[in-house]
Amino acid sequence: MPNVSRKSIHTVLDQAAKTIIAAGGPDGRASRADVTKKLQELTGTERALVDTFYKYVDHRDAAPGASITRADVASALKLAKAKLVNAYDLDGNGLSAAERAKMGKVGQLAAQIAELHKTPTHAAKLAARVLVSPKWSPDALPAVGLDQLSRSARTSFDARARRAAENDLLDPPIARKLTARGEPFTIVAQFMHDSFAIELYNANGRKVGTGDGWGTPDEPITWN
């Protein structure tokens, strides 16, 4: 299992901090109730990290159980990066599996997500292999109903459908399911006679990856 860079884990922690601050609304003060409501929008490891990181911030606060501020989150974030992540990278070459096993729960959850962030590119290439090689096979993956698409995926799908209606070279877009390395994705894909484009959306409905390539139904694809 390859090492996970400190920078990638820091990025995940940054996002968790932003999620907590966003939960508090315009004033930036997040209560337990605010975060609990926000957690309903999240799933899996991301949800666990935000919940655990909030508890970490709240524990450090002068009045545990009260609302936490932007300054509380920023202070805890800085400490978490130094003490919960960097301190375990003893050789400075990223966190190995053995090093991650020694980390606390916040660090481990953030590292898991950072590792999964590599998955979208892998998933996009996997989708291309299944849908494109050796020929265009749009039904090679299970279909997703349009009513099941996230708002951002549906917006993209509809825009692609309009372009296809206006351009004879474009096939209508398709929406399909794919699971890569245990993570579920929704795929919005579109083909031309010699090229394709793929977008990936995670379980929370966010676009997490894109890809495109060239080829023909009878020739190997070239992935960009």
pLDDT (tens digit per residue) in 52-79: 999 999 887 656 667 899 999 999 999 9
Q: What one-character DSSP code corresponds to residue 137?
A: -
Q: Which domain holds residue 36?
A: 6-116
Other C-beta atoms closer than 10 Å to the C-beta of 100 total 23
User: Domain ends where: 69, 99, 116?
Assistant: 116
Residue 1, in any domain of the structure: no
Residue 194 is predicted with a pLDDT of: 77
123 and 105 assigned to the same domain: no
CA dihedral 108, 114, 116, 118 (to 10 degrees): -150
Reported as a single tens digit per residue, the pLDDT across 85-112 is 999 998 888 899 899 999 999 999 999 8
Domain shared by 56 and 86, yes or no: yes
Q: What is the pTM of this model?
A: 0.59
* Count of domains observed in the chain: 2
Residue that is last in its domain, among 51, 84, 116: 116
**Residue 16 forms part of a structural domain:** yes
Handedness of CA 208, 121, 178, 192 (dihedral sign): positive
- Kindly state whether residues 99 and 133 are assigned to the same domain: no
The reply to whether 93 falls in a domain is yes
Residue 32 sits at the vertex; the CA angle it makes with 28 and 35, to the nearest 5 degrees, is 65
Mark which of 116, 143, 166 sits at the end of a domain.
Answer: 116
The DSSP 8-state label assigned to residue 128 in this structure reads: H
- Asked if residue 171 and residue 77 are part of one domain, the reply reads no
203 burial via Cβ count (<10 Å: 0-12, 13-18, 19+): middle
Q: Locate tokens 């894109």: which residue?
A: 210
The answer to the question of residue 44 being in a domain is yes
What is the structure's pLDDT at 117? Answer: 73
Query: Does residue 167 sit in the same domain as residue 98?
Result: no
DSSP assigned state of 184: E
Residues 86 and 16 occupy one common structural domain = yes
Residues 79 and 17 in one domain: yes
**Low-confidence residues of the chain: pLDDT under 70:** 1, 61-65, 118, 215-224
**What are the residues whose beta carbons fall under 8 Å from the beta carbon of 220, sequence distance 6 or more?**
133, 134
| 90 and 152 housed in the same domain | no
My answer on whether 187 and 87 are in the same domain is no
